[in-house]
Structure 1
């Protein structure tokens, strides 16, 4: 049987807060919450979720792995505003202003991108 992604694991200092941020951002829900980990996903039967585990140390540099999120045409700016209202911040990481994405950071400073919807990239 081939491998498949089960969880995207994210180190966090405040597991419940970080999990709630991402659950709200993705419109998922908290599936389990224990002292050593918090798991979120669209539902219990979903093939992929996110697992938040205790971080060691502090973030020093740009992420080496990040999420690219997208939405439907016309919703991108509204989604960016919604994410900022949830606690995300826009960050400037070497952008020229001509990119098809906006870089944000979550509540613990980890970067992710909101990219232009696929239908606008194809045409």
Structure 2
């Protein structure tokens, strides 16, 4: 393959705070930290990671790209992630969907899905 996914980049105001939030959500850790970027990952060798980069502007509008999280227990994970600092978000999904839309502390939407079977199940 000529190309592979290396990192997912997230614009942020509070790099350390947002990285810490996502590290707790995913049970990852900070693998690199500088004034202009913070990277989290499962470990230093696992790809992709998530890199948080500074931007001066506020988030505007709904994300065009978002993360979908596949939990073992949707309700328990939603409550755990809210306790970490997320909030419920309405992006027009309605009441009849099986996923829960949340927003991280800087307003980036993401979904907590119903439990999914993996490819090896």
Superposition TM-score, scaled by structure 2 size: 0.92
Taking the TM superposition and a 5 Å limit, the aligned residue runs for 1:53-92 are: 53-72=53-72, 75-92=73-90
Give the Å deviation of 1:47: 1.9
The corresponding residue for 1:7 is 7
- Mapped to 1, the partners of 2:64 and 2:54 lie a distance apart of 18
Q: 3-state DSSP class of the match of 1:30?
A: strand
Give the Å deviation of 1:6: 0.6
The corresponding residue for 1:46 is 46
- Mapped to 1, the partners of 2:2 and 2:100 lie a distance apart of 34
1:50-74 CA distance string (max 9 Å, x none): 00000131111011111011112xx
Unaligned runs of 5+ in 2: none
- Mapped to 1, the partners of 2:30 and 2:48 lie a distance apart of 13
Q: Which runs of at least 4 in structure 1 moved beyond 6 Å after TM superposition?
A: none
RMSD over aligned Cα, in angstroms? 1.0
Give the Å deviation of 1:96: 2.1
